Structure 1
Amino acid sequence: MAKPSAAKRSRARKLVCIVGSDDFHQSMIGRVPEAKNWRLEQVLHRTDVQPSRGAFDFDALYAKARSIIDGFDRPPDAIIGHLDFPVTALVSLLCRHYGLTAASPEAVARCEHKFWMREIQRKVQPERTPKVRAVNPFAPDAIDKAPMPFPFWLKPVKGHSSMLGFRVREASEYGRALHACRQAIHRYGEPFNAFLAYLPENTRPPNGVDGNYAIAEELISEEQLFTIEGYVHKGKATAYAAIESRRTGKHMSSLSSYHYPAELPEKVVEAGREQVAEVLAQVGFDNGPFNVEFFHDPASGRLNLLEINPRLSKSHSPLFEMVDGCTHHKQAIQLALGRKPDKPARKGTSPMAAKFMVRSHEANGIVRRVPGQDDIERLRRLLPDIVVQMLVEEGQDLADLADQDSYSFELMDIFLGGGDAEFIADAHDRCRDSLAFLIQPMPRHRVR
């Protein structure tokens, strides 16, 4: 019996498009056991959707993505992404355009828009929703009076990686934060407005609060911060993993590490799932992945929902590969193909894994030395699972790094697996001592 041709085998595999990916993640997705049944195609590169500087044209990105997909020999079977806006928006519009399974653009917009999401949450969870006020940083009288009593957080309605997020304690800090927003909020505000223009007029944000607005939000921080990874399939929300996030730096607002699986009671994870299921039902979110951040107070059991991201977290991907044997792109692709996703298998090389974000908390600086490949290889002989992503290079002006939080610069990410928390902590200490940076301090370039 003749074997099927390569062309027929290719057509038999599902055509899965990954928007805004890179070689690191494409390779990881290709190692998913089920990937033998998929034809993985990259649509736009990470640098297209997250340029290092300047504005980007959302409409042009959407048109380019359609052009790339139309250039394939057949229509796609699934389209996913793992980055924040604009990828979440592009995926939702592309899936609508090609008639594929995905959360609607309207639901994605409601999740992505910080003020809109809180207004929806207030309808179903009034006692759990923090006070928020919309702030137009360009209004002539914006500086005259703080929108709520100090302290509070000021952040854009659309951003990511805590960019332009400021803890405001008094009037002078409020003025500096408003100035920073006026300088840079348009980087994502204008493309987000372009996305909103694709929505029907009766599904636009409330009170004309567009992408160039900020919000003032009362503080809701608790001792623990964790993330639930999950999905909604045919109206039912499922949580399949919890990851603990640890913080460092000024105001404890910079993320320092992720730990999977989180050491949390199952009842806490279930309570978080119930909260997000109620909000997502009100949002109208279905047939899409999510990751949701919560603050948790172990003493009282209080849970505060921080934000809903309508996507999987790419930062957690190597952790899933180490613990479960493959990245959780598997679940997102199964969902996009119309299937109920499998549970993570816990068949990886390590029972636990962590990601550490190496940061500089200087106001600014020039990178004069980065760890070399020889340094990393020496560590790999002791820590075979180690994965290192260098985010800066020698001569880099830290002020030129895009999409950083307001109080630090991210220099390097280290992923480690291990048998227990003590092993991972020891391994991290070894990495910290062996992988050194040299930063030459420079004058301040931004509000801190």
Structure 2
Amino acid sequence: MTDTLRPFTRGPAAATTRRATAARSVRPARVLVVFGKEWDRGAFAPQLAAGEIELAFEGFDLFRFPGNARLLAFDAWRFVDRVCATYAGRVDAVLSNNEQFGALLAAVIAQRLGLPGNDPRAVVLAHHKLACREAQRRVAADAVPRFAALGFALDDPRARDARALQAAVAASDLAWPLFVKPIKATFSVLARRVDSARALAQHLRFGPFERRIIRRLVQPYADIAVQVAPGLADAAGMLLETPIAGHQVNVDGYVFRGDVRIVGMTDALMYPNEANGAQHFLRFAYPSRIASDVRARIERLTRLLLAELGFAHGFFNAEFFVRPDGRVHYIEVNPRLASQLADLYRWVDGRDVYRMLVALARGRDPETVERLAPAAGAAASFVWRKFDGTAADRLPTRADLDWLAREHPDARLMLYAKRGAALAREYKWLGSHRYAVMNLCAEDEPRLRERYEAICNRFGWPAAY
């Protein structure tokens, strides 16, 4: 691996902009994106086109072949060493919106390069669902369900033995039914309600290759965690919790010099009824409809938790349950921007979240980023899923996509079609197949629903608003 600077991505107007900025002795900020998300490239486009930034990307797609094959031999510390040797003194900012381990790697790289970033220990603790639950209990015990670690990892034979699982649950002083989830995971992987030891054993029964993938998915995180926050439970273990139901709210914000600032709150609406032991996201709606007093409780709980974790710099996405009586319960906090939702805040509030993201990564106050003119009164991120073990019945044709670009030019569509082993694994791990996500806005909610249903009709997709 050579030590020369890798080419940076520039926008189409970069040559003209470079001539203009040269006269002012200002160059574009060089930003290193670690394990980029599918939403990143489009969201960074306005800054690239304006010549404000140049981008370099390091990492690979964790969930698509052939990129994900690199996971089997991936070494987190070797990656950090190589990236730091390549970019030392040559970048102005390091960032990542990747939940699996990109955010943690970005924090470590930024720290080593002397650039603004979060404390890696805070990122480790936020990612570690058991450690995060313990932090929640310390600051607000009444906002946390009863919980315990299972006691052995997913690749331990006891995780497939109903008798061993029953004994572990009895020792934890919990009772069925339980909500179970990995101590370290993303996208609600393997998170669901189970009613018995036999059902849990079935849920955790994997073939040798799947067990290896699960271990490799958490190993980069574990290799860093043992150095920056030693003594944590095995990241490949499971967390057991008393089930809680309620209306789910997402909180997006950031911390600048220890000051917690809320960007917005979205309502997470679910598909009707449980499927395969879990609720599944149907859409994220903005603005949230929650009452002002509930919003205040959520903000208070968010601030308490972030302070307890030592989270002093960076974007975050926190999740809460709001009970019918107004009580609020923690779900989790993710130490990165929810990139899927950035459009919603831009459209409704004029919050230029990706410019704010770059500003924060450069150590600048995101509040100094100029607001845009709001373009809508309502926005949502819609999710299409299958639940019957099969692939999407229909995907948009080229003609459909041309129609979408012409009739709904602001819509942002992501397709996640899978087949074969990848499809079967998604059903096993997530309980559904998410085949598409679309961000959309309108002047009000009735018009938003009208646009959504028109697109569903054109694509032949269910309109489960």
TM-score between the two structures when normalised by the length of structure 1: 0.84
For 1:103, the equivalent position in structure 2 comes to 118
Is the contact between residue 367 and residue 397 of structure 1 (CA under 8 Å) also seen in structure 2? no
For the residues of structure 1 that align with 2:217 and 2:79, how far apart are their CA atoms? Answer: 15
For the residues of structure 1 that align with 2:390 and 2:372, how far apart are their CA atoms? Answer: 42
1:143 aligns with 2:165: yes
1:353 to 364, 379, 403: 379
Secondary structure at the aligned position of 2:33 is classed as strand
Kindly tell me the number of residue pairs found equivalent between the two proteins. Answer: 430
Could you report, residue by residue, the CA deviation over 1:156-210 in whole angstroms, capped at 9, with x for unpaired residues?
A: 111111111121022331221232598746535445344333356683244xx21
For 2:254, the equivalent position in structure 1 comes to 231
For 1:79, the equivalent position in structure 2 comes to 94
For the residues of structure 2 that align with 1:65 and 1:16, how far apart are their CA atoms? Answer: 16
Secondary structure at the aligned position of 1:21 is classed as coil
Secondary structure at the aligned position of 2:35 is classed as strand
Could you report, residue by residue, the CA deviation over 1:322-353 in whole angstroms, capped at 9, with x for unpaired residues?
A: 33456522222211211221278362422221
The offset of 1:287, in angstroms, is 0.9
Is the contact between residue 323 and residue 351 of structure 1 (CA under 8 Å) also seen in structure 2? yes
1:177 aligns with 2:203: yes
Q: 1:98 to 1:139 in 2, by over 3 A?
A: same
For the residues of structure 1 that align with 2:209 and 2:226, how far apart are their CA atoms? Answer: 30
**For 1:40-439, what aligned pairs fall within 5 Å after superposition?**
40-47=55-62, 56=71, 60=75, 63-64=78-79, 67-68=82-83, 70-71=85-86, 74-135=89-150, 136=152, 137=154, 138=156, 140=158, 142-145=164-167, 147=169, 148-180=174-206, 184=210, 186-199=212-225, 203-206=229-232, 209-222=233-246, 224-248=247-271, 249-250=274-275, 251=277, 253-297=279-323, 299-325=324-350, 327-342=352-367, 345=371, 347-362=373-388, 364-366=389-391, 369-392=394-417, 399=423, 406-436=430-460
For the residues of structure 1 that align with 2:415 and 2:428, how far apart are their CA atoms? Answer: 15
Equivalent residue letter for 1:281: A
For 2:10, the equivalent position in structure 1 comes to none
What are the ranges of 5 or more consecutive residues in structure 2 without an aligned counterpart? 1-17
For the residues of structure 2 that align with 1:115 and 1:239, how far apart are their CA atoms? Answer: 25
For the residues of structure 2 that align with 1:200 and 1:375, how far apart are their CA atoms? Answer: 49
Secondary structure at the aligned position of 2:71 is classed as coil
Secondary structure at the aligned position of 1:245 is classed as strand
Is the contact between residue 371 and residue 437 of structure 1 (CA under 8 Å) also seen in structure 2? no
Equivalent residue letter for 1:218: T
Secondary structure at the aligned position of 2:75 is classed as helix
Q: Which range moves more in the overlay, 339-348 or 308-317?
A: 339-348
What are the ranges of 5 or more consecutive residues in structure 1 without an aligned counterpart? 439-448
Q: 1:144 to 1:219 in 2, by over 3 A?
A: closer
Secondary structure at the aligned position of 2:100 is classed as coil
For 2:29, the equivalent position in structure 1 comes to 14
Equivalent residue letter for 1:231: Y
Could you report, residue by residue, the CA deviation over 1:95-147 in whole angstroms, capped at 9, with x for unpaired residues?
A: 11111211111111110011111112212222222111111142636334361
Q: 1:34 to 1:226 in 2, by over 3 A?
A: farther
For the residues of structure 1 that align with 2:428 and 2:398, how far apart are their CA atoms? Answer: 25
Is the contact between residue 225 and residue 245 of structure 1 (CA under 8 Å) also seen in structure 2? yes
- Once the two structures are aligned, what percentage of the paired residues are identical? 20
For the residues of structure 1 that align with 2:24 and 2:82, how far apart are their CA atoms? Answer: 24
Is the contact between residue 44 and residue 65 of structure 1 (CA under 8 Å) also seen in structure 2? no
Equivalent residue letter for 2:107: S
The offset of 1:275, in angstroms, is 0.6
Could you report, residue by residue, the CA deviation over 1:400-425 in whole angstroms, capped at 9, with x for unpaired residues?
A: 56598532100111221101111112
For the residues of structure 2 that align with 1:6 and 1:43, how far apart are their CA atoms? Answer: 27
Equivalent residue letter for 1:229: D
For the residues of structure 1 that align with 2:210 and 2:420, how far apart are their CA atoms? Answer: 20
Q: Which range moves more in the overlay, 287-296 or 38-47?
A: 38-47
Q: 1:54 to 1:303 in 2, by over 3 A?
A: farther
Backbone CA RMSD of aligned residues: 3.3
Equivalent residue letter for 1:143: L
Ranges of 4+ aligned residues in structure 1 off by more than 6 Å = 3-11, 48-52
The offset of 1:154, in angstroms, is 1.2
Equivalent residue letter for 1:260: Y
Equivalent residue letter for 2:288: A
Q: 1:288 to 1:183 in 2, by over 3 A?
A: same
Q: 1:279 to 1:309 in 2, by over 3 A?
A: same
Q: 1:42 to 1:19 in 2, by over 3 A?
A: same
Equivalent residue letter for 2:337: L
Equivalent residue letter for 1:16: V
